[in-house]
Structure 1
Amino acid sequence: MNDTVLVEIADHVATVTLNRPKALNSLDGDMVEGLVGAMLRLERDDAVRCVVLKGAGDHFMAGGDIKMFAGMTKLDAEARRSAFRDAFFPKLHPGLLAMRRMPKPIVASVRGACAGFGVSLAMACDLTLAAESAYFTLAYVRIGACPDGSSTFFLPRLVGLKRAMEIALLGDQFDARTAAGWGVINRAVADADLDAETAALAGRLAAGPRHALANAKALLYASADNPLEKQLEMEAAAFGDCAATPDWLEGVAAFCEKRPASFG
């Protein structure tokens, strides 16, 4: 891992910070390496029960590094095609897949610019909070590119096909309240409250029943591709797995005794 992505773990919460503030945390090759490495490591770390993803400084992420793109303009057409298709994206995708598989919730905490791959990354998180002053744009069309980074997977599922077309084809900017209304994010909060709201949400998730949360996440993501019969089978198996854990015993006992549960 390199210093373009920082990881700090406290109280079972891992905070992953995109750390190129002078470049608005734009994505370059080093950040790809750091982000993928962090997600693969955290996926396997049983001590971590929730992950928070944020940007250093005043912005979440302004998308891909335009300087990196500009340096590729001298390549011929086939070399440019291969640089992305055969090199850049194969390095990036394992991190996104790890986020999807990760048996723990991931919370994006967004302030400032959230553009291009920044939007993709925020949508790939399980929950997203944003400061009211944050702004969003998928932006790819502005540089003659199409969306990437899982955005074409998540966006229509979150906002519907027609709205997704509008966001992707026009590349217009929209604010955090609009993002919440459309379903791109969960909530817009006052700028001064973002860190505290994020910490409270992460703390609540980290204190929750880990097997139940992991199963709920897996079931919800699987539902988009499953017929009802398959989904019911998965629910039955997952509920059975939860019932076999100490957390289930504690949850039932706490409910019956009218006290807060203390999950292990």
Structure 2
Amino acid sequence: MTFILSDVQNGVMTLTLNRPERLNSFNDEMHRQLAEALAQAERDDAIRCLLITGEGRAFCAGQDLNDRNVDPNGAAPDLGASVENFYNPLVRRLAKLPKPVIAAVNGVAAGAGATLALGCDMVIAARSVNFIMSFSRLGLVPDCGGTWFLPRVAGRARAMGLALLGEKLSAEQAHQWGMIWQVVDDEALIDTGRALAAHFASQPTFGLGLVKKALYASESNTLDEQLDLERDYQRIAGRSDDYREGVAAFLAKRPPVFKGK
């Protein structure tokens, strides 16, 4: 079955999580299909932005617990293997992808579905969305980058409350807390996401990729280290075709035509 719908148009790859009868919760095959799609996004220079959304009533309800039943003989499942083999590579690929990644979140984003959304570069949520860090309800630890992203987007106090209580957080509240970029009416979600993705697909992709790398590096760098990194990245960006085109367009008073190189 096709659990990841992929569509590439005008520089935008749209990936739709497609297990609506299970609220787009992950099983192993869905992970494998998503990994294949991300590999295409990595190697295809014509893809200049990635948009991720969900089919039906949910963005993603996290891990499908039907795939994680305890062995009838009493052996506990190795959840660490699932994290190591699927969720960790997913988070790393999204962070390292040198192109903007947008999450257009619909319905419910729970467990790894919530942390997957927060791991994207920009998050647009429908007004009806609830984010739920549901791990604690099962006695588990937030994964898919949850313990890294939460304190950074929400602050430690709010991260603790969200992770320990596992209560619903509305899209409006997430926006007020600075956790997501934008809240839109439900019926406007996909069009808003596509418009933003189309904008990024026309921008200097090479430079945007360096911006991503610099911001991620800043989480662990000292000020001196970050200043040196900015110097190095600016040197690289200044040698790009996109920079030359941007300057030429500015001087000629015409719209730039960036190639993402």
Q: TM-score range by the shorter chain?
A: over 0.9
How far did 1:88 drift? Answer: 1.3
Where in structure 2 are the equivalents of 1:25-104 lying within 5 Å? Answer: 25-69=24-68, 71-72=69-70, 74=72, 76-77=74-75, 79-80=76-77, 83-85=78-80, 87-92=81-86, 93-104=88-99
How far did 1:255 drift? Answer: 2.5
CA distance, structure 2, for counterparts of residue 125 and residue 75 of structure 1: 39
Residue 103 (structure 2) pairs with residue 108 (structure 1): yes
- Cross-structure match for 1:130: 125
- Cross-structure match for 1:205: 200
CA distance, structure 1, for counterparts of residue 220 and residue 39 of structure 2: 24
- Cross-structure match for 1:254: 249
Q: Is the 8 A contact 1:111 1:134 kept in 2?
A: yes
Determine helix, strand or coil for the equivalent of 1:53: strand
Residue 165 (structure 2) pairs with residue 165 (structure 1): no
TM-score by length of 2: 0.94
Q: Is the 8 A contact 1:32 1:91 kept in 2?
A: no
The code of the aligned residue for 1:25 comes to N
The code of the aligned residue for 1:232 comes to L
How far did 1:130 drift? Answer: 0.6
> Unmatched 5+ residue regions in structure 2?
none
CA distance, structure 2, for counterparts of residue 76 and residue 41 of structure 1: 40
CA distance, structure 2, for counterparts of residue 75 and residue 183 of structure 1: 46
Q: Deviations over 1:112-170 (max 9, x none)?
A: 01100111100111001011011111111112211111111111111111110011000
Determine helix, strand or coil for the equivalent of 1:60: strand
Name segments (4+ residues, structure 1) moved above 6 Å. none
Q: Using a 3 Å threshold, how does the CA distance of structure 1 residues 242 and 146 change in structure 2: closer, same or farther?
A: same
CA distance, structure 1, for counterparts of residue 150 and residue 11 of structure 2: 30
Residue 216 (structure 2) pairs with residue 221 (structure 1): yes
How far did 1:258 drift? Answer: 3.4
- Cross-structure match for 2:3: 4
CA distance, structure 2, for counterparts of residue 198 and residue 109 of structure 1: 6
Determine helix, strand or coil for the equivalent of 1:198: helix
Two-structure CA RMSD over aligned residues (Å): 1.4
TM-score by length of 1: 0.93
CA distance, structure 1, for counterparts of residue 166 and residue 232 of structure 2: 42
CA distance, structure 2, for counterparts of residue 75 and residue 193 of structure 1: 49
Where in structure 2 are the equivalents of 1:138-177 lying within 5 Å? Answer: 138-177=133-172
CA distance, structure 1, for counterparts of residue 91 and residue 37 of structure 2: 11
CA distance, structure 2, for counterparts of residue 210 and residue 26 of structure 1: 31
